[in-house]
Structures are given as C-alpha cells and as structure tokens.
Structure 1
Amino acid sequence: MRDFARIPVSSPASVAVFRRILTHGPVGRVDIARTTGLSQAAVTKAVTPLIAAGFVVEAEQPRPEAGVGRPINPLAVSRDRAFIAGVKVTAERSYAVLTNLGADPIVHVEVANASSDLADVLTAVERLIQQLRAHSPGGRLDGIGVAVSGDVDRTTGTVRDSPLLGWRNVQLKERIEALTSTPVTVENDVRALTVTEILFGAGRDATSLAVVTIGAGIGCGLFLNGRIVQGTHGVSGEIGHLPLASEALVCSCGRRGCVETVASTQAIVDRVRSVSGRADLTIDDVFALAHDGDKAAVEAFAAAGSTIGAALAALVNLVGPELVIIAGEGVTEYDLYADRLRSTFGEHAFGAAIDCEIVLTAHTFHDWARGAAACVIEEMAAGSL
C-alpha cells in the first residue's frame, strides 16, 4: 500500500484550526482563536502536531497582529505537502487537474471519451491520471476526486443515476481505486463546485450560500448551517428539475416541465433550431444570433432567464441563503438573459429575500475538475481521508 499524506486532525478543535488555516492562511493564532471560539492554548495544542507533520508552516517574516503588542508568525498550509488529482467527467470528454494541498492548479489535461459507456470513461480517466502523475513530484498522488452529474452517494462513491451519462448504480469509487491504487472521492459535480467556493472562493466567509450552475444542466449546491446539503437520499438542490415549464416539454430525466427543458444550453439550441428550421445550429451560433437581435434566439434566452429567475426565487424563499453564486460554462453569455432573470427573481422573491446577493462567476470544465480535487482536500482536512 502506498504512503498517502494524512493530516493529523484527531478532534473537532484540530479540524476547525486546520480548516481556518487552509481557507484563510496565512493567519495568526489570535485570529484562529477568535473565529473558532477556542482558547489560544487549544489553538497551540492543535497546531503543534500539524507543524511537526509538515502540513502547517510558520511564515518566515513575522508581522504584527491587530490588537497585539508583539509580532506573531502567521500560519499557512504547506501547499506542496500533498498532491491531488481532480477529474470532471462529461459524456464527450473528461477533464483533469493536478493541484497541491491549497487547490492551486498545477497542470490541466483532457481527453475525449470514446463514448459515455462506463468502460470507455474508465479508460479515459486512467489515461488522465497517468498524465497527471507524470507532472507530480515522484509521481505522487494522495487522492483522486471525481465529479459527475446526477445523483451521487459520496459516502459509498456510487453514481446512482446520471441521465446525462446514462449511468445507474455505478460503483465508481471502487472501480477507479482498483485502476489507480489511490483513494478516490466521488461527488456530484455541482456540490464539488460548491466545495471550491466554500473553501477557496467567494463563499469563504458566508454562513449560507447556493451555487447555481447553468450549462448542459441546471444544478444547485447548497451550503447551510455550516454543511453542504447532501440530501437523505443523495439528492438536494435539483432546481433544474423543478416543474416550472410547460408539461409539453420532456426533460432528459424523463419527466415533463423541468426547468432544464427551457433553460439548459441544449434546450435553448433546440428551441432556436425548431423556430428557424436550421438543424445545424450550435450553441455558439445561437449566442451570435442573439447578440445580433435574432427574434427566435432573443426569445429563447428570455424564456430561459424567466424560468431560472423563478427557480432562484423559489430557492431563496425556501432556504434563505445570504449569497447565490451563478456559475458554470453557460454564464459566459449571462448578459443575454440577466435582465429577465433578475426581473423574474424580483417578482417572486418574498419580502427581504429580494436582498439576497447574486454574483456571477464563469467556470471552465477544468474548474469543475478542481472542485473534485477540493472535495478530496475537504476530506483530508476533516481527517476522514
């Protein structure tokens, strides 16, 4: 068995201390004590084994901390103490990124899948991992994160249902661990992206947030009461499948009237193709048509914006996040439906819910892969991997 990096966090206090250093470092002990509610003695007790094991380092140059009369050495994660692979699987291609313990991307790679069949995807993932090992010091990988769309049980690493991939009850963690001899974490892709925002992005200081992704599907990751919402049955935040569209429209999940039947990129393309009679149109063509004022394209994006705005209002009315991050590859053309989205949200948001902050952040598929790596880092930081 290979020697994998394991962070010495053995108590809730040590987990809280390491997580604060991971997300906000370099950071002083007084700040850690204040934000975690621990005494400075408890912080020192937690930090000592982390420094001894090489996962935390003291900055070489001391700096004064507010309210303290003597200089302190801020604490930071030793970023090159571990290396992690993150993989994002789509039906056509698989994307991977090598990161360090701070989730800094080191190298990106991608390959085409021969098909979305499990055997072909596993072949693609194995190739990606081999390429990442070639870029990691000594070929070291301390964990592999894999992000896929659909209903994923992170505890067992099982993809219970992925309509976009055509998978049901696939024990993906077990299969990839057998191929790579490396610990694997499998997570729903939207929840993986949410983990990135919580640990390293716009949600680092939020007490609650939602990450809504727009692209081939419409997804939502929820962070409430200090935890990612997994859902008792592995399903949560599926606003793409709220029944807010016409029942005449059939979704890829087999149900009718889902948000995705109007607001996914494929739905928008299909609508413009149908109206224009041009079956060869791509999403880039539709973007260009909309910017040029083509009526069918403009109306398709307006309908998408209205439907997403209604879904966001339902989400915010129900769970009340302080922040909604709109993300994904589909937001690069956000301006095409932003006005309709915000106006519909405003019409349906109840009371003070209208004050929920909505921010935009574009993501590439490699950012989704980084989210998978962040899930591994999250488990390492919690002492569960």
Structure 2
Amino acid sequence: MGPSAGVVPAALRVGTSPAAVVFARVRGGGPVTRDVLVESANLSAATVNRQVHALLEAGLVVERPDLVDGGGIGRPKVPLTLNHDGLAVAAMHIGARRTLLAIADLSGRTVHSHAVRTPTGAADAAVAELAGALAELVGRFSGRRFLWAGVAVGGDVDETTGTVDHPILGWRGAPVGAIVGATLGLPVSVCEHVQAMAAAELVLAPSLSAGRSSMYWYARETVGMALTLDGQVHVPSTGAGTVAHVPVQAPHFADVPGPVGLQQVIGSAALEAAATRTGFAPSSSTLLDERARALGEAIAAIGDAINPDTIIVAGDAFADHPRGLAPVQAAFDAARHLPHRLELTPTQFGLSVQEAAAVVVAASVIYADPLLALAG
C-alpha cells in the first residue's frame, strides 16, 4: 500500500535512518553489492540486509543478477540498483514568467522536462491549468508508478497546507498543494524555491559534505537566500525569510538619492527601468557592474554575520555578467570584514537549478525515510 494523496511538508535534509542511509548509498553508488553497502554505510551486515530486504519488498530497489561478475571467486554477489524504470516523481517549478514541468526517476535524474508560460489571472484557475499540464505529462509515462509530486515556488509558502502567497503573481492563499494533489492523485510537497535549491545542492549533489554549513543565494527575477546547517535546510516555522530589503548603494537603479533594497536591482524589469532612467543599455557594463557590486556587498553583509563554510550562488543575476562571477566576488571580497577568504561557488546545476529544485521537493520525503514515506 502506498501513501495517500494529500499535502506533506518537504523533508529538506539528508536522511539518517538506516533505510535512508542504505537507499542513499544505492542511489549514489549503484550497482552495488550488499558487502559494499556494509562498508560504505557503516552499518552492520544484519542491519544492511534487513534494510535491503525491506527496500526490495517496497519496490524501491531491484536486484540485477545480469550484472553478476561471472569471473569472481566464491559465491556470486548480486548487485542492487534503484528501480529506475518502474518508479518516478512529478515535479514543477512555478516561476514569475515561466513554469518548468519535469518527470524524474528516484535517482533524481530528469527523464523529461519542458517549460510553459505561467498563467496570469485568478490563482485557482492558474494553478489548475499548471496541474493539468503536469498531469498530462505524467500520462505520457503510464508505464511507471508515480510516488510523489513536488512544487517549488517563490513567495510565502505554508508547507503544511501547501498554500502560497505570491505577490508578483497576485496570489494570496493559493491552494497549490490541494489542487496539484487532487489533480494527480498523489501526495504532494510544496516548498519555497530557494530553500528547495539549497536542498538540491545538499541532497542531489554528493560532493557537498552534509556536516558543513552553507548559505545559498538565488537572484534572477527575485532574490532569496537559504541556510543549510548540519545536513538540513533551515525552514523556519513562520516561513522563509527575505533579503529583498537589504540596503545597497546602486544610484543608477534608484529613483531618489540613497540606498535601495536589493530587490530593486534584481530582475529584467529593474534593468529596463534603470536603462530608461539613465540612457544606458540594459546590457551595459555600467548597469551590470553596479548590480554585481550590490550583490557582492549584500552577500558580504549577511555572510559576515552568519559566517558559513560555503556560499553557493545561482541565477541570471550572477551568470549574465560578461566576466561571470568575478565582479561579484571582487565586491564581496572588498566588503567582507572576516579575515579568511571565501570563494563564492556557482551552483552545480547550472541552468537546470530550477529543475533540480522541483525534483528534490518531489523526492525529498522519500529520500529522508523511504520506507516510512511509502507506508503512508
């Protein structure tokens, strides 16, 4: 029996239960044998065998006798892999202008994705249209059993009810989780998108250490920040915080003299307004340099207070400068007050960061405790 449809808060963390640890090792290292799992998972052979048996029974993991090394000495050891072809999750990233729809297997690998224009107008109708588009995409993969749906979205997200306030889209109390869950007939998790992006780096990108602290910044049409501490994305009970108001000096983006909020230098509309006001082209070095400096100084101000081990950045505001991340790094270095140097690290997902955010929301509860997730 699988989980029933409904809204379930995303689990933006590295799973620590024995089942989660074994599942993660198979997900990251398969095909893998039981004896290798015992060594890599730091669990007893008996514990690993119990978890493997339960994961096989749940259909999350499959044995691959066709991959047995026939030339080995002693009893053959049957490798294990994820059930890549039989199971899937459905994911959606709702952006201010476009929405990304994706289907992924349990490794987090995207099987298919495409973008549609985010509908304008009444929230319920817009969400229903997007949910219908995702359901149509799910229907193309009728040979797979879908376990979960996930939605990453900007604005203020109530992860318990799946409702969203999105000022840019004009949504207030939009029942995103209820509509998507009912349309797809699946359990659904809804998460603030910058927190989801931070979780993707933590859960889908194996090179990052779960024990480190990191600060994640995203800047495209909006700007946001999330924190990861000890293998878990910090999700306040009152919702995500904001860095949109952080004061920066950006005179070409200001209507009046003095500092402006960071959000006022982020996004295509801000660039167009500054270009109209000043006569510079939106792609001019004058405006892009000023935006890069504002970003670097804002990150330094927050970074000095938090002092994370890693700072990860993503979004067009970081990537679109002709000299890449260098001017943001230079401004960050100049504004930083702590003695040790810290390199700003680009996201490992590049242009696919929104896709990764949506997929990790759809898979996060399964990753955190796969057997409990599927028990319903």
Following superposition, the deviation at residue 361 of structure 1 comes to 4.7
CA distance in 2, matches of 1:31, 1:250: 59
Residue aligning to 1:52 = 57
**Matches of 1:250 and 1:360, distance apart in 2:** 30
Q: Give the drift of 1:345.
A: 1.1
For residues 31 and 335 of structure 1, the distance between their equivalents in structure 2, rounded to whole angstroms, comes to 46
User: 2:327 maps to which residue?
Assistant: 340
- Structure 1 residues 199 and 3, CA gap change in structure 2 (3 angstroms): closer
The superposition leaves residues 31-85 of structure 1 with CA deviations (integer Å, 9 ceiling, x where unpaired) of 655565433332222222112333123455357xxxxx99865543222232111
Offset of residue 239 of structure 1: 3.1
Q: Which secondary structure state, in structure 2, belongs to the residue aligned with residue 110 of structure 1?
A: strand
Q: 1:247 to 1:342 in 2, by over 3 A?
A: closer
Structure 2 residue aligned with 1:272: 275
Task: Say yes or no: does 1:310 pair with 2:297.
Answer: yes
Q: Which residue of 1 aligns with 2:124?
A: 119
Does the residue aligned with 1:80 lie in a helix, a strand or coil?
coil
2:12 maps to which residue?
none
After TM superposition, list the pairs within 5 Å mapping 1:241-320 onto structure 2.
241-245=245-249, 257-276=260-279, 286-287=282-283, 297-320=284-307
SS in 2 for 1:286: coil
Instruction: Please report the RMSD computed on the Cα atoms of aligned residues, expressed in angstroms.
Output: 3.5
Letter in 1 for 2:363: I
TM-score relative to the length of structure 1: 0.78
What is the 5 A alignment of 1:11-30? 12-27=17-32, 29=34
Query: 1:306·1:344 contact (CA, 8 Å) conserved in 2?
Result: yes
Query: Where in structure 2 are the equivalents of 1:146-157 lying within 5 Å?
Result: 146-157=151-162
Identity of aligned residues (%): 23
Q: Determine the C-alpha separation between the residues in 1 that align with 2:37 and 2:302.
A: 33
Corresponding residue for 1:371?
357
Tell me which protein shows more helix as a share of its residues. Answer: 1
Query: In the TM superposition, what are the counterparts of 1:97-136 in structure 2 within 5 Å?
Result: 97-136=102-141
Q: 1:178 aligns with which of 173, 177, 182?
A: 182
Question: Residue 365 of structure 2 aligns to which amino acid in structure 1?
Answer: E
- SS of residue paired to 1:303: helix
Residues 11 and 104 (structure 1 numbering): CA distance in 2 closer, same or farther, change over 3 Å? closer
CA distance in 2: counterparts of 1:318 and 1:359, whole angstroms: 21
Relative contact order higher in (CA < 8 Å, ≥ 6 apart): 2
1:327 paired residue number: 314
Whole-Å Cα distance in 1 between the matches of residues 298 and 40 of structure 2? 34
1:61 aligns with 2:71: no
- For residues 19-40 of structure 1, what are the alpha-carbon distances to aligned partners after superposition, in whole Å with 9 as ceiling and x for unaligned? 3332444455566555654333
Partner of 2:84: 79
Moved more, 118-127 or 188-197: 118-127
Shift of 1:234: 1.1
Describe the shift of the 1:242–1:25 C-alpha distance in structure 2 as closer, same or farther (beyond 3 A).
Answer: farther
Gaps of 5+ in 1: 64-68, 278-284, 288-296
Counterparts of 1:140 and 1:83, CA distance in 2: 6
In the alignment, which residue of structure 2 is the partner of 1:197?
201
TM-score, normalized by length of structure 2? Answer: 0.80
Moved more, 303-312 or 34-43: 34-43
Amino acid aligned to 1:38: L
1:66 corresponding residue in structure 2:
none
Equivalent residue in structure 2 for 1:167, among 167, 171, 191:
171
Question: What is the deviation of 1:96?
Answer: 0.2
**Contact conserved, 1:240 with 1:259, CA < 8 A, in 2?**
yes
Deviation, 1:99, is 1.1
Cα offset for 1:230?
0.7
